[in-house]
Amino acid sequence: MATVTVTLQDYKTSEKAWWCPGCGDFGVLAALQKALVELEIEPHNVAVVAGIGCSGKIGNYINAYNIHVTHGRTMPVALGLKLANRDLTVIAAGGDGDGYAIGMSHFLHAMRRNPDITYIVMDNRIYGLTKGQTSPTSQTGFETKSTPDGNLERPVQPIQLALAAGATYVAQGFSSNQKQLVRLIKGAIQHKGFALVNTFSPCVTFNKVNTYDWFKEHLVDLDEVPDYDPHDRVAAMRFVAEHDGLVTGLIYQEPESIPFEEKLPGLGRRPLAAQDLRPDKEKLQQILAQFR
């Protein structure tokens, strides 16, 4: 069997990124491309489903199948792709506004179903594309154009939500920590089931509070925490809550996870995309006759 050689160049496109200089999304893009190369997955076996927002442009910069969906709808489209062709490596990507506001219900139901999808959320705690409004993960008291007197609401806690909803792979990265982020994304892709990689990706233009320096000062790196057990869901929930969600690393993984598509009756191992789904003419006539 011929050896497959995949390089970073294979995953690059000719389109120039439109992100602001210094945007954290550059780091996420680089980490995803490097993870796919290190796993030796060929581009024609990868599908990226991207949401709306600055982060949603990521699919344009990766040489793979790309669907840019409507706001908050990455999960149902990614699930449909996986059911139609389970051989595809399906990556869903978007921001905190796309995934944790209008996309929240899809996010929760995807976790309880556990399809074999990797979901990368670029969390900058603000709506950057629309020039700086409060997002679901903005902290209480955070001042923006939409909250000049400070955000009155409590922020969504994506990691705590994922743990409570039964997600089988929960990780959190930081866009400037490439080594760890590549490892977390590789682990997510290799995991059999739904994998969340929430990634702090600073918006250098509109969020002047949650900067690179702020994250470096506040984040706790699990790689440096002795005896942390990523297979204990309850302990993970306690640890993350004690640190207000500001934790990076592999937070939880269920080793014996079984993906949704493998439990569906009637869905064969062969991808639907590769099957001849045309019905037998005689049987079709029999079915139609029942309705005449």
Residue pLDDT, tens place only, 156-180: 999 999 999 999 999 999 999 999 9
Is there a contact between 200 and 123 (Cβ–Cβ < 8 Å)? yes
Is there a contact between 35 and 64 (Cβ–Cβ < 8 Å)? no
Tell me, what's the pLDDT at 292? 85
Tell me, what's the pLDDT at 166? 96
Tell me, what's the pLDDT at 11? 97
Exposure letters 136-149 (e unless 16+ CB within 10 A, then b): bbbeeebebeebee
Is there a contact between 181 and 175 (Cβ–Cβ < 8 Å)? yes
pLDDT (mean) for 45-74: 96
Residue pLDDT, tens place only, 17-34: 999 999 999 999 999 999
Tell me, what's the pLDDT at 144? 93
How far apart CA 149 and CA 143 sit, in angstroms, is 6
Tell me, what's the pLDDT at 1? 54
Q: Is the pLDDT at 219 greater than 90, yes or no? A: yes
Q: How confident is the model at residue 2 (pLDDT cuts 50, 70, 90)?
A: low
Tell me, what's the pLDDT at 271? 80
Tell me, what's the pLDDT at 195? 98
Whole-number percent of the chain with pLDDT over 90: 88
Q: Is the pLDDT at 289 greater than 80, yes or no? A: yes
When computed from its CA atoms, the radius of gyration of the chain, rounded to whole angstroms, is 20
